[in-house]
């Protein structure tokens, strides 16, 4: 079924990454431009979304440095309106306002990333899609799915979503950290976090119990002997696991989204390290984010919004390392 205004086989505007970019080359924002492409077809278990907005995440430009085939459409998360549904779709209808983390891993075994959120239309699986929080604009909703899911799942793996738990979130002013602080606090945990001095007041406003300025203090010294339950590394600091030993209790956990945070040697006292990838298939977690957002317990600031045509500028800002919160792309 198709909604009015959408025509199968039509054209759309999309951001395309041009080459050549070698496997070890660094992505440069000038390599991405807006071109015309066919509107994607969709399978029986997929929805076709007219994209209102998307966002730039650090992983976007990192995977474009050799990890993603050229001439593909990047972009992980989006918000928009369902304009068509596959014959097997039961949870959505045309006109529904939704958000999604559209990433899929393809191949056998899965070796390539299929994205597509930087376009006027994207097709994605029903199980990757949720109803947009009613209290968020499309722009506000578009910046949450990837970092929100990452934060929630990192805390779940650290077993700190409960009253009385203690967690250190490394990178409190980035998208993942901002979400992690609020999610942990919403579940009754005590939250320690790190950021640069200029962002301390902002991070405190999120509810963090103690904020450590990493430019002047070493968190592993400040928190030595605190017997925390978990250290959640959202930025991938080298040696995090080994440094965490001094602040974690016996059988404590280190969860991280970057391999460099791990340790080549087993950790003592039953302490474990887990490197994880965000599970975008877990629609229950996406709905948890919706519930927290609508209850006023989760929000994510947008530092700047760029139209799709200015996507190189959005990447330049994100790659500058000066972003507090997220950078948004307004698509339509």
Q: Would you tell me how many other CB atoms lie within 10 Å of the CB of residue 207? A: 14
Instruction: Give SS3 for 182.
Output: helix
What is the per-residue pLDDT for 26? Answer: 72
pTM for this entry: 0.94
Average pLDDT of span 64-70: 65
Architecture of domain 147-275 in CATH? 3-Layer(aba) Sandwich (3.40)
Strands 166-170 and 228-233: parallel
* β 112-114/104-106 pair status: antiparallel
- Give pLDDT tens digits for 4-52: 467 888 999 999 987 545 545 678 888 899 999 999 999 999 999 999 9
> Does residue 2 carry a pLDDT above 50?
no
Q: Where are the domains of the chain?
A: 11-144+300-330, 147-275
Give the pLDDT score at 284.
96
Question: What CATH homologous superfamily does 11-144+300-330 map to?
Answer: Medium-chain alcohol dehydrogenases, catalytic domain (3.90.180.10)
d(CA 279, CA 260): 20
298 has a pLDDT exceeding 70: yes
Residue with token string 């939250």 = 191
Task: Return d(Cα 47, Cα 122) in angstroms, integer.
Answer: 8
Give, in order, the Cα–Cα distances in Å from 194 to each of 152, 176, 218, 237, 331.
Answer: 18, 12, 9, 12, 33
Q: What is the pLDDT of residues 272-295, one digit of tens each?
A: 999 999 999 999 999 999 999 999
């Amino acid at each position: 079924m198709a909604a009015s205004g959408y025509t199968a086989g039509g054209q759309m505007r999309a951001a395309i990454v041009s080459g050549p970019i070698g496997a070890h080359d660094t992505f440069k924002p000038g390599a991405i431009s807006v071109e015309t492409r066919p509107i994607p077809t969709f399978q029986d278990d997929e929805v076709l979304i007219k994209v209102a907005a998307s966002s730039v995440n650090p992983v976007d430009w990192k995977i474009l440095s050799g990890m993603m085939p050229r001439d593909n459409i990047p972009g992980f998360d989006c918000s928009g309106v369902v304009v068509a549904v596959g014959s097997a779709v039961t949870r959505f209808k045309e006109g529904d306002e939704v958000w999604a983390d559209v990433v899929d891993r393809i191949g056998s075994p899965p070796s390539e990333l299929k994205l597509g959120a930087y376009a006027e239309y994207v097709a994605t699986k029903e199980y990757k899609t949720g109803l947009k929080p009613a209290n968020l604009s499309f722009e506000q909703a578009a910046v949450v799915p990837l970092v929100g899911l990452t934060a929630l799942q990192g805390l779940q793996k650290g077993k700190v979503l409960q009253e009385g738990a203690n967690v250190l979130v490394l990178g409190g002013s980035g998208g993942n950290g901002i979400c992690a602080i609020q999610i942990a606090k919403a579940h009754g945990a005590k939250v320690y976090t790190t950021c640069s001095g200029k962002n301390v007041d902002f991070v405190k406003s999120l509810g963090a119990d103690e904020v450590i300025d990493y430019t002047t203090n070493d968190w592993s010294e400040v928190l030595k002997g605190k017997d925390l339950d978990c250290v959640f590394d959202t930025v991938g600091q080298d040696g995090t696991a080994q440094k965490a030993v001094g602040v974690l209790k016996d059988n404590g956990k280190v969860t991280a989204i970057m391999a460099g945070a791990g340790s080549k040697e087993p950790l003592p006292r039953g302490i474990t390290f887990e490197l994880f990838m965000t599970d975008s298939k877990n629609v229950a977690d996406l709905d948890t984010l919706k519930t927290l957002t609508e209850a006023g317990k989760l929000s994510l600031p947008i530092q700047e919004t760029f139209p799709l045509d200015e996507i190189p500028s959005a990447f330049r800002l994100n790659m500058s390392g000066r972003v507090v919160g997220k950078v948004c792309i307004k698509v339509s």
